Amino acid sequence: MPSTSLTDPKKSYGIHVWGEGNYIVEDGVVKVNYGSKPSLIELTKTMREQGYKGPLLFRFPHLAAQNVRTLFNHFERAKKEFNYQGKFKAVFPLKVNQFPGFVIPLVEATKDLEYGLEAGSKAELILAMSYTNLGKPITVNGFKDQELISMGFLAAKMGHNITLTIEGINELEVIIKEAKRLGSPTPKIGLRIRLHTGGIGIWAKSGGYSSKFGLTSTELLEAMDLLKKHNLTDRLSMIHFHIGSQMNHISPLKKAIREAGNIYAELRKMGANNLRAINIGGGLAVEYSQQEGQSSRNYTIEEFTNDVVFLLKEIANAKGVQEPTIFTESGRYVAANHAVLVAPVLELFSQEYSEEILRLKEENPPLVQELYDLYCSISTKNAREYLHDALDHMESLLTLFDLGYIDLTDRANTETLVHLIIKKALELLRNKPSKEIKAILDRVQERYLVNFSLFQSLPDYWGLAQNFPVMPLDRLDQAPTRSASLWDITCDSDGEIAFNIESPLYLHDVDVEKEEYFLGFFKVGAYQEILGMRHNLFTHPTEAIVRFDENGDYFIEEIIEAQNILDVLDDIDYDTKEIERRIRQLLEESEIIQEDERKEILGELYLYLSENGYLRTINFSEGG
Ligand SMILES: *Cc1c(COP(=O)(O)O)cnc(C)c1O
């Protein structure tokens, strides 16, 4: 057996599978592999010393910028390799993350590249118009009304390099009308094509003939006729498709590129002389897996870029048209790894089981007595056997309770003893790995109560069963001994990340009354923040940007504290003044409250209302 302890090699939590070199485990802690390499636990403690409580979201702008550069570098490399004549450009699709703490540093860090923003709604277009570096591309996708289209004309007047991608003929008709009304400059026009090729996975509706979006072949011909008739053919500059997010296989993309490449060539032959770009949308997948051999995608970025460039070159050459500008809208790939959620563990479910709480009687049922004897005499030699016996006895005792033969005290003693035996056995067997022990470990899980809301911070886990890499921030030099299921603090039973034997999570046995234990959830920077729900009225966690200077020293900046309770209520349209008034009145009219304590009670209440709703943990650094 190659591994040295029960749960090794999970001590590194698959960081070599998902980490892309951005995080490293050193000295028992996980560190950001950049600059002075701060550990996440150090960043967390710094924030908590400043009084920020509850879960924390750290943003690392250097990672988002690095992803964009990786994308550009790989396309440039592939272009050289295949002697490709077209350009490469890209936009960030705002729907993936619209938060200022992400978008503003991103556009700042990519000024030198042909990199802009993609908008799918009026609000997103306003963001794109405000923050895109002038001259860099803006694309607008999704359904549009006359208002959204005239905003596009405004953007063009401001000097923006904007392309309105039409999803249907009616949108083109509105553009034609607006061009007459508003005059030039008319934004560039893109055509979203309805692919014959289907989309993929859970996002299949993005592509294919049943897709929500795009023009059929007949509609493309119709669009060309309309453009010609209104002298707008020269504005047609791009065709576009998007086959869905988190493509796990490369083959549907290859099929889509062949289809789009041929449509591009055909439209050019029909006189679309300014049609220069093929926008292949997003979908570039992120590696979320923590297990070797369970990769989330069957291709590398190298293969992806090679395939795109090679295929487009082949088609353009075969059809005798110029090689198109390649345009991408990768969102998940750019944003996912820039954010890490850190949440404190509040409680281990079995922690309440200690020897002191046993209520053994003078005379116990024989099986309970036997459990107690097992507990007292368990040793490394017999641990496995005793563990089995204990689990068997528990089954029997629970049946006896159901049948009315033992009482509640006996049942409580059973629960406590079995938990104590499991704990002791795992401790004794920690350096004796075996399949069987692993099987037992996987059966008897520890429940970790974590101070966060799954609905707010990992909605795709809830909605799409999307796993995110998770690991403790410290103790990484010790083997974890407990198979863990994670519970959030909402009162919803769906707020659980259950132990999964396919991708098991093992954590440390900690006494959270004495020491803190933090979990990091990685790659939460794409989609999670804006999809997050205020289930139970939990709000966005406190967030902070971590930046590095030229010397590699880090700074924690632009801290945005989680919303307080009154603000959350205000957001869902409660009159918070009315809430305050009602509560104050009830307190004032209460006959239980003495005159002299009223002021104090009111003060305490206002304190609660002014804080965020996450649970408070003891701050050990303050010795309390
Ligand atoms: C959502 C979306 C994207 C981004 O997809 P990712 O999988 O995040 O890369 C790109 N283009 C369009 C049109 C989209 O709707």
CA of 282 to the centre of ligand 1 (A): 4
Give a three-class secondary structure readout of 337-405. Answer: HHEEEEEEEEEEHHHHCCHHHCCCCCCCCHHHHHHHHHHHHCCCCCHHHHHHHHHHHHHHHHHHHHCCC
CA of 416 to the centre of ligand 1 (A): 51
The reply to whether 312 and 371 lie within a common domain is no
pLDDT of residue 619 exceeding 60, the answer is: no
Give me the amino acid identity at 550.
E
User: Predicted confidence band at 442 (pLDDT cuts at 50, 70, 90)?
Assistant: confident
Average pLDDT, integer, range 98-123: 97
CA of 106 to the centre of ligand 1 (A): 17
> Which residue lies with its CA nearest to atom 3 of ligand 1?
282
Nearest atom in ligand 1 to 192's CA:
13
CA of 531 to the centre of ligand 1 (A): 15
Contact 383, 429 (CB under 8 A): yes
What's the rounded Cα separation, in Å, for the pair 432 and 430? 6
* Amino acid 352: pLDDT: 75
Of 441, 468, 494, the position where a domain reaches its end is 441
**Integer distance in angstroms from the first to the last C-alpha of the chain?**
45
Cβ(124) – ligand 1 distance below 6 Å: no
Of 392, 408, 441, the position where a domain reaches its end is 441
User: Predicted confidence band at 623 (pLDDT cuts at 50, 70, 90)?
Assistant: very low
CA of 335 to the centre of ligand 1 (A): 12
pLDDT of residue 577 exceeding 50, the answer is: yes
* Amino acid 212: pLDDT: 65
Contact 615, 42 (CB under 8 A): no
* Amino acid 132: pLDDT: 97
The reply to whether 414 and 307 lie within a common domain is no
List, in order, residues 6 or more apart from 294 with CB less than 8 Å away: 502, 503
pLDDT above 90 as % of the chain: 69
The reply to whether 72 and 162 lie within a common domain is yes
Cis peptide before 365 (omega within 30 of 0): no
Contact 29, 473 (CB under 8 A): yes
Q: What is the CATH number of the domain that holds 618?
A: 1.10.287.3440
CA of 208 to the centre of ligand 1 (A): 15
The reply to whether 237 and 179 lie within a common domain is yes
The reply to whether 373 and 278 lie within a common domain is no
- Enter the tokens of residue 485: 């299921």
Cβ(330) – ligand 1 distance below 6 Å: yes
Cis peptide before 2 (omega within 30 of 0): no
What's the rounded Cα separation, in Å, for the pair 141 and 490? 36
Residue 55 vs residue 203, higher pLDDT: 55
> Which residue lies with its CA nearest to atom 5 of ligand 1?
282
The reply to whether 361 and 246 lie within a common domain is no
List, in order, residues 6 or more apart from 316 with CB less than 8 Å away: 86, 261, 264, 265, 322, 323, 324
Average pLDDT, integer, range 550-575: 92
**What pTM was estimated for this model as a whole?**
0.90
What's the rounded Cα separation, in Å, for the pair 596 and 45? 39
The reply to whether 206 and 89 lie within a common domain is yes
CA of 499 to the centre of ligand 1 (A): 31
Average pLDDT, integer, range 316-343: 97
Calculate the dihedral angle through the C-alpha atoms of 72, 554, 56, 334, rounding to the nearest 10 degrees. Answer: 0
Contact 171, 142 (CB under 8 A): no
Q: What is the pLDDT of residues 448-507, one digit of tens each?
A: 999 999 999 999 988 888 899 999 999 999 988 888 999 999 888 889 998 888 888 999
Contact 475, 553 (CB under 8 A): no
Cβ(281) – ligand 1 distance below 6 Å: yes
Cβ(38) – ligand 1 distance below 6 Å: no
Nearest atom in ligand 1 to 244's CA:
7
**Tokens 């490469």 label which residue?**
88
pLDDT of residue 53 exceeding 60, the answer is: yes
pLDDT of residue 407 exceeding 90, the answer is: yes
The reply to whether 320 and 359 lie within a common domain is no
Taking every pair of Cα atoms in the chain, the longest distance, rounded to a whole number of angstroms, is: 99
Q: Per-residue DSSP letters for 466-531? A: ----EEESS-TTS---EEEEEE-SSS-TT-EE---TTS--EE----TTTS--EEEE-S--SSHHHH
User: Predicted confidence band at 86 (pLDDT cuts at 50, 70, 90)?
Assistant: very high
What's the rounded Cα separation, in Å, for the pair 122 and 147? 8
CA of 582 to the centre of ligand 1 (A): 47
Cβ(331) – ligand 1 distance below 6 Å: yes
What's the rounded Cα separation, in Å, for the pair 589 and 583? 10
Nearest atom in ligand 1 to 245's CA:
7
Residue 54 lies in a domain: no
Contact 289, 467 (CB under 8 A): yes
Closest CA to 308 of 275, 276, 272, 281: 281
> Which residue lies with its CA nearest to atom 10 of ligand 1?
282
Residue 147 lies in a domain: yes
pLDDT mean across residues, the chain: 90
CA of 390 to the centre of ligand 1 (A): 53
* Amino acid 621: pLDDT: 46
Give the bridge partners for 546, in sequence order. 556
Residue 409 lies in a domain: yes
Of 407, 426, 441, the position where a domain reaches its end is 441
* Amino acid 593: pLDDT: 83
Q: What is the CATH number of the domain that holds 423?
A: 1.20.58.930
Nearest atom in ligand 1 to 285's CA:
7
Residue 270 lies in a domain: yes
What's the rounded Cα separation, in Å, for the pair 451 and 439? 29
Contact 469, 523 (CB under 8 A): yes
The reply to whether 573 and 608 lie within a common domain is yes
> Which residue lies with its CA nearest to atom 15 of ligand 1?
242
Residue 77 vs residue 183, higher pLDDT: 77
* Amino acid 423: pLDDT: 85
Range of the domain at 225: 62-329
The reply to whether 316 and 435 lie within a common domain is no
Cβ(243) – ligand 1 distance below 6 Å: no
Residue 323 lies in a domain: yes
* Amino acid 622: pLDDT: 43
* Amino acid 463: pLDDT: 87
User: Predicted confidence band at 199 (pLDDT cuts at 50, 70, 90)?
Assistant: low
* Amino acid 323: pLDDT: 98
The reply to whether 279 and 371 lie within a common domain is no
> CA 307 from chain center: how many Å?
27
Q: What is the CATH number of the domain that holds 126?
A: 3.20.20.10
CA of 220 to the centre of ligand 1 (A): 22
CA of 328 to the centre of ligand 1 (A): 9
* Amino acid 207: pLDDT: 58
What's the rounded Cα separation, in Å, for the pair 605 and 592? 16
Contact 579, 586 (CB under 8 A): no
pLDDT of residue 273 exceeding 60, the answer is: yes
For the ranges 73-87, 392-406, 481-495, the lowest mean pLDDT is seen at 481-495
Length of the chain (residues): 624
Q: Candidates 165, 329, 524: which one to mutate for ligand 1, based on the most atoms within 8 Å of Cβ?
A: 329
What's the rounded Cα separation, in Å, for the pair 356 and 413? 11
For the ranges 137-141, 344-348, 426-430, the lowest mean pLDDT is seen at 426-430
* Amino acid 208: pLDDT: 58
Residue 174 lies in a domain: yes
342 φ, ψ (degrees, to nearest 5) = -115, 125
Neighbours of 356 (CB within 10 A): 6
Nearest atom in ligand 1 to 330's CA:
9
Q: Candidates 143, 212, 242, 528: which one to mutate for ligand 1, based on the most atoms within 8 Å of Cβ?
A: 242
Residue 523 lies in a domain: no
Q: Per-residue DSSP letters for 64-124? A: HHHHHHHHHHHHHHHHHHTT--S-EEEEEEGGG---HHHHHHHHHHTTTSSEEEEESSHHH
Nearest atom in ligand 1 to 141's CA:
13
The reply to whether 163 and 237 lie within a common domain is yes
H and E: helices and strands count for the chain? 21, 20
* Amino acid 3: pLDDT: 39
CA of 354 to the centre of ligand 1 (A): 51
pLDDT of residue 624 exceeding 70, the answer is: no
Q: What is the pLDDT of residues 212-253, one digit of tens each?
A: 678 999 999 999 999 999 999 999 999 999 988 999 999 999
CA of 83 to the centre of ligand 1 (A): 28
Residue 351 vs residue 529, higher pLDDT: 529
CA of 330 to the centre of ligand 1 (A): 6
pLDDT of residue 1 exceeding 50, the answer is: no
Neighbours of 109 (CB within 10 A): 17
Nearest atom in ligand 1 to 96's CA:
8
> Which residue lies with its CA nearest to atom 2 of ligand 1?
282
Calculate the dihedral angle through the C-alpha atoms of 526, 528, 531, 532, rounding to the nearest 10 degrees. Answer: -160
Closest CA to 522 of 33, 6, 26: 33
What's the rounded Cα separation, in Å, for the pair 203 and 334? 19
Cβ(211) – ligand 1 distance below 6 Å: no
Count of structural domains, the chain: 3
Alpha helices in 230-343 (DSSP H): 251-269, 301-319, 332-335
Contact 107, 130 (CB under 8 A): no
Tell me the C-alpha to C-alpha distance, in Å, between residue 387 and each of 266, 440, 510: 72, 9, 21
> CA 436 from chain center: how many Å?
34
Tell me the C-alpha to C-alpha distance, in Å, between residue 502 and each of 117, 136, 221, 499, 544: 38, 44, 50, 9, 33
Residue 532 lies in a domain: no
